[in-house]
Amino acid sequence: MRAAAFTALGGPSGVEVIELSAPTPGDGQAVVDVAGASVNRHDLLYLQGDFRLQERHLPFVSGVDVSGIVRDVGDGVEGVEPGDRVVLNPMQTCGSCRDCRDGPENLCEEYSLFHGGFAEQAVVDADRLVSVPDDVDLVTAAALPVTYMTAWHMLRRADVDAGDTVLIPGATGGVGVASTQLTDAMGIRSVCTSSSPEKLDQLSTFGADELLEAADADALGEQLDGHEPVDAVLNHLAGPFTDVCLSALRRNGRMVICGRTAEKFSEIDTQDLFLGHKRIVGSTMGTQADLERMVGLCEAGAIAPSVHETYSFDDAGQAFADMQNRDVVGNLVVTPP
């Protein structure tokens, strides 16, 4: 089978199409004919050599978000059959630690993510598959796991409700668009930022209530100076944006951080933090139930994942270049022929 693999680390030029043996399912596993696999920031960090992956692991097939049709199942699989339309929850957990037992499962001590979606077929844990209704497009479903599970779990961690106001910096990326759509569905007011008026125009179609143009953290600070304080911030950027967003919070406000798109490290005004009784909370992915809920919301029309562009295996390197250049709004999806 063909796969779009990382054959060198550093950037998009390191993505090449290779031939691999077709997988067979082991006990508890299923083989899925891939319909779509989203490109996430996680994949880009791997490709850039900035997160765990090393030269000795190459060639490496990334792709954590997978949707498609079940081809075959291994022994001991129940509830999943060949021909089923499915999307994968890419979380891999031990199932035995305290957090796996008591929940939520994304706190697992041995938490990791599946990789292997940028291929014609993927072998996955069958119990991590979620059924996709016939009226939900499979390529669209590939955009649900990482971005929408993450955004949903962040909103829960932020402890917000209808009528609250949430700041979403960098709202045109996958998590940003998901956060914008989910806040709209929940009756939460959103203040969304992006670096260009063209991107901001698209955010309006996703339910954004207020739009702020800001190309960097300093510009965002100027935009927020004098702005009504917000109840919460959903921050995937980190770096210098963290302190700016902290200043935007009301007393007892909450900021949830799920990533480091801008920079890995942040400096904050700790006096603002403790005198304002503000909270900064980390959040990663979500749970199996969260993905099932996202599929249900998609079926009901409450959310509509934005697929900015689809790419063939041969053009997968361009997908990473587009993400690296931040030329997209929403999700990028690699689709096998």
Output the pLDDT for position 261: 87
Encoding tokens for residue 61?
Answer: 């097939």
Which residue pairs, CB below 8 angstroms and at least 24 apart, start in 287-292? 287/91, 287/103, 287/104, 287/105, 287/106, 287/149, 287/153, 288/89, 288/91, 288/105, 288/128, 288/130, 290/149, 290/152, 290/153, 291/87, 291/89, 291/130, 291/144, 291/145, 291/148, 291/149, 292/130
Output the pLDDT for position 215: 87
CATH fit for domain 147-282, picks 2.70.70.10, 3.30.365.10, 3.90.180.10, 3.40.50.1100: 3.90.180.10
Q: What is the pLDDT of residues 300-324, one digit of tens each?
A: 999 999 999 999 999 999 999 999 9
CATH 3.90.180.10 fits 2-143+306-334, yes or no: yes
End-to-end Cα, the chain, rounded Å: 11
Q: Which residues, 6+ apart, have CB-to-CB distance to 123 below 8 Å?
A: 23, 24, 25, 26, 29, 30, 31, 32, 116
Q: What is the pLDDT of residues 247-281, one digit of tens each?
A: 999 999 999 999 998 999 999 999 999 999 999 99
Encoding tokens for residue 80?
Answer: 């999943």
Residue spans in the chain of domains classed CATH 3.90.180.10: 2-143+306-334, 147-282
Which residue matches tokens 């800001």?
A: 214
Alpha helices of the chain — where are they, by DSSP H?
A: 41-47, 98-102, 138-141, 145-158, 174-186, 197-204, 217-224, 241-248, 270-275, 288-300, 316-324
Encoding tokens for residue 99?
Answer: 């957090």
CA 165/CA 310 separation, integer angstroms: 33
Q: Is 298 exposed, middle or buried (0-12, 13-18, 19+ CB in 10 A)?
A: buried
Encoding tokens for residue 322?
Answer: 């587009």
Q: Is-contact 245 221, C-beta < 8 A?
A: no
Q: Which residues of the chain have pLDDT under 70?
A: none
